[in-house]
């Protein structure tokens, strides 16, 4: 699976009209790469320890590219960007997701829901708890 299909599938797993903050998309794809890369032909990213844990600029670049193809929406709220799939992007992502093995679909759906239900602080702290190596360059003190 290529990176763009993974981006579509993982965002689609959260349901139509789901939105993601920057920290949520970074942690979503970090977890997929770390925990389920063997299920999706990965890893697809090169995460490094950064200000708020694992970060790879390629996640944002991929979402911007999907936006240019009208498969995703990247909206600037003034404080940070919000990422979502367009209707067409959701349909394509759902198709990709449905073609994955059940174990991959289940994991991606569960982690997609999980990253969206936690607060910023809870999400970052949870990642640091499980992956202490990703705390190395942290500015987060929560």
| CATH code, domain carrying 33 | 1.10.10
Mean pLDDT of 122-135: 94
> Regarding predicted confidence, which is higher, 11 or 139?
11
Residue-averaged pLDDT of the chain: 95
Mean pLDDT of 68-72: 97
141 inside domain: no
Position 78 confidence tier, pLDDT thresholds 50, 70, 90: confident
24 inside domain: yes
Q: Tell me the pLDDT tens digit for each residue of 2-53.
A: 999 999 999 999 999 999 999 999 999 999 999 999 999 999 999 999 998 9
Q: Tell me the pLDDT tens digit for each residue of 84-95.
A: 999 999 999 999
- Residue 85 structural domain: 3-135
Question: Residue 141 has what pLDDT?
Answer: 63
Question: Residue 142 has what pLDDT?
Answer: 57
73 inside domain: yes
123 inside domain: yes
140 inside domain: no
Q: What is the three-state SS of the chain?
A: CCHHHHHHHHHHCCCCCCEECHHHHHHHHHHHHHHHHHHCCCCCCCCEEECCEEECHHHHHHHHHHHHCCCEEEEECCCCEEEEECHHHHHHHHHHHHCCCHHHHHHHHHHHHHHHHCCHHHHHHHHHHHCHHHHCCCCCCC
43 inside domain: yes
Question: Which range, of 29-33, 58-62, 112-116, 131-135, averages the lowest pLDDT?
Answer: 131-135
Question: Residue 140 has what pLDDT?
Answer: 73
* Number of domains making up the chain: 1
Question: Residue 91 has what pLDDT?
Answer: 98
């Amino acid at each position: 699976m290529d990176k763009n299909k993974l981006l579509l599938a993982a965002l689609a797993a959260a349901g139509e009209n789901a939105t993601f903050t920057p920290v949520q998309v970074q942690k979503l794809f970090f977890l997929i790469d770390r925990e389920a890369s063997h299920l999706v032909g990965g890893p697809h990213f090169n995460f490094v320890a950064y200000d708020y844990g694992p970060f790879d600029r390629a996640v944002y670049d991929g979402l911007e590219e999907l936006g240019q193809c009208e498969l995703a929406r990247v909206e600037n709220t003034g404080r940070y960007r919000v990422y979502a799939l367009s209707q067409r992007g959701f349909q394509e992502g759902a198709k990709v997701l449905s073609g994955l093995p059940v174990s991959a679909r289940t994991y991606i759906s569960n982690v997609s829901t999980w990253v969206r239900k936690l607060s910023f602080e809870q999400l970052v702290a949870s990642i640091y708890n499980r992956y202490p190596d990703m705390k190395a360059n942290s500015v987060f003190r929560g």
